């Protein structure tokens, strides 16, 4: 017969694990809401930037929206499974968190291993955006925004605009100008005069330098987020195990209190004379 004190000791542990797992699930749910909001915001405000990189990258906001929605749903599922105390639901929740961890880990390692290929792809697409620049398309507006925001000009420097069709008629784009006062078409068509009025640093170097200088921070945050999923896996598995063990203890305790059946003889006993 299992000791009653053992059942009493298990319940506080289950309550504690439930509290931690519900708190974790709420944080997990909140990260899904953030991804969902970022995806919607990116679709509305950053569509030009995605089209600048590659045509397929316009799907990036939808990926964030879909991922955020799935995380929101499973975050609520984790809270429900914890409150319900269902072992199989908790195991399903742990399996989902494991898949999320593996996906984030693979994505992070792939991004680090193929960072040079990503830079080459970015260089090619940005160079193409410069050559097709006309000042009116969404890609052209994205180039202008990047040059104004990052205080840069061209791919490597302002001379990259020399071989473009836009330069023949308009010179260097006005988005390269430090100040708009002296940026006339006449000056922007003359590289010697424009050198004093436009940014001298290339945009590709500015972007890649910022990425490389913060690579350690980005990697640390990425792996931190990935390993955060392991906490949820650990809590869900522990809670599932404790609930299962507690149920077995209660069942075995109930069975031990069942009255035993004493067999009785159907015939009366006969005593010798």
How many whole angstroms separate alpha carbon 125 and alpha carbon 135?
A: 17
Do 79 and 160 have their domain in common? no
pLDDT value, residue 1: 46
pLDDT value, residue 47: 64
Q: What is the number of domains present in the chain?
A: 2
pLDDT value, residue 209: 81
Do 99 and 144 have their domain in common? no
Cα 82 to Cα 90, 100, 202, 235, distances in angstroms = 7, 19, 53, 10
The token pair at 140 is: 């052209």
Of 208, 237, 267, which residue sits at a domain end?
208
DSSP string, 148-188: HHHT--SSSSGGGGGGSHHHHHH-S-GGGBS-SSS--HHHH
Do 101 and 135 have their domain in common? no
101-106-112-114 Cα dihedral, nearest 10 degrees: -160
pLDDT value, residue 12: 84
Do 29 and 82 have their domain in common? yes
Do 131 and 242 have their domain in common? no
Residue 265 lies in a domain: no
Residue 245 lies in a domain: yes
Residue 97 lies in a domain: yes
How many whole angstroms separate alpha carbon 35 and alpha carbon 41?
A: 10
In eight-state DSSP terms, residue 262 is P
Is-above-0.85 flag for pTM?
A: no
The token pair at 216 is: 């350690």
Could you identify the residue written with the tokens 């972007």? 207
Residue 268 lies in a domain: no
**CATH number, domain at 177?**
1.10.1450.10
Do 95 and 153 have their domain in common? no
Burial of residue 61 (number of CB atoms within 10 Å: 0-12, 13-18, 19+): buried
pLDDT value, residue 54: 55
Do 22 and 86 have their domain in common? yes
DSSP string, 171-236: -S-GGGBS-SSS--HHHHH-HHHHTTTB--S-HHHHHHHHHHHTHHHHHHHHHHHHHHHHHHHHHH
Residue 26 lies in a domain: yes
pLDDT value, residue 78: 93
Distance from first CA to last CA of the chain, Å, rounded?
46
Residue 266 lies in a domain: no
Handedness of CA 141, 147, 153, 156 (dihedral sign): negative
Of 208, 227, 243, which residue sits at a domain end?
208
Q: What is the pLDDT of residues 162-182, one digit of tens each?
A: 889 999 888 999 999 988 777
Residue 270 lies in a domain: no
Do 122 and 61 have their domain in common? no
pLDDT along the chain (273 residues), means of 10: 53 89 93 86 70 59 84 93 92 93 81 77 85 87 88 91 89 89 86 89 84 73 81 92 81 54 47 48
Note down the domain range covering 184. Answer: 118-208
């Amino acid at each position: 017969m299992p000791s009653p004190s053992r059942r009493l000791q298990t319940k506080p542990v289950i309550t504690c694990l439930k509290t931690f797992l519900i708190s974790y699930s709420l944080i997990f749910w909140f990260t899904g809401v953030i991804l969902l909001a970022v995806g919607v915001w990116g679709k509305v405000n950053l569509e030009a930037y995605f089209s600048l990189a590659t045509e397929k990258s316009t799907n990036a906001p939808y990926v964030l929206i879909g991922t955020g929605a799935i995380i929101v749903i499973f975050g609520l599922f984790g809270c429900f499974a914890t409150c319900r105390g269902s072992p199989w639901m908790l195991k399903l929740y742990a399996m989902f968190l494991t898949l999320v961890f593996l996906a984030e880990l693979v994505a992070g390692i792939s991004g680090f291993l193929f960072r040079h290929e990503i830079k080459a792809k970015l260089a090619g697409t940005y160079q193409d955006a410069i050559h097709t620049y006309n000042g009116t398309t969404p890609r052209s507006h994205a180039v202008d925004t990047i040059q104004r925001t990052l205080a840069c000009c061209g791919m490597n420097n302002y001379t990259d605009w020399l071989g473009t069709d836009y330069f023949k008629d308009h010179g260097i784009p006005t988005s390269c100008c430090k100040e708009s006062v002296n940026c006339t078409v006449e000056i922007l068509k003359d590289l010697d005069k424009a050198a004093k009025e436009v940014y001298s640093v290339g945009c590709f170097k500015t972007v890649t330098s910022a990425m490389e200088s913060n690579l350690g921070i980005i990697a640390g945050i990425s792996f931190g987020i990935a390993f955060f999923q392991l906490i949820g896996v650990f809590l869900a598995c522990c809670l599932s195990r404790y609930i299962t063990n507690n149920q077995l203890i209660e069942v075995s305790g109930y069975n031990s209190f069942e009255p035993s059946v004493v067999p009785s003889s159907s015939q009366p006993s006969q005593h010798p004379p």
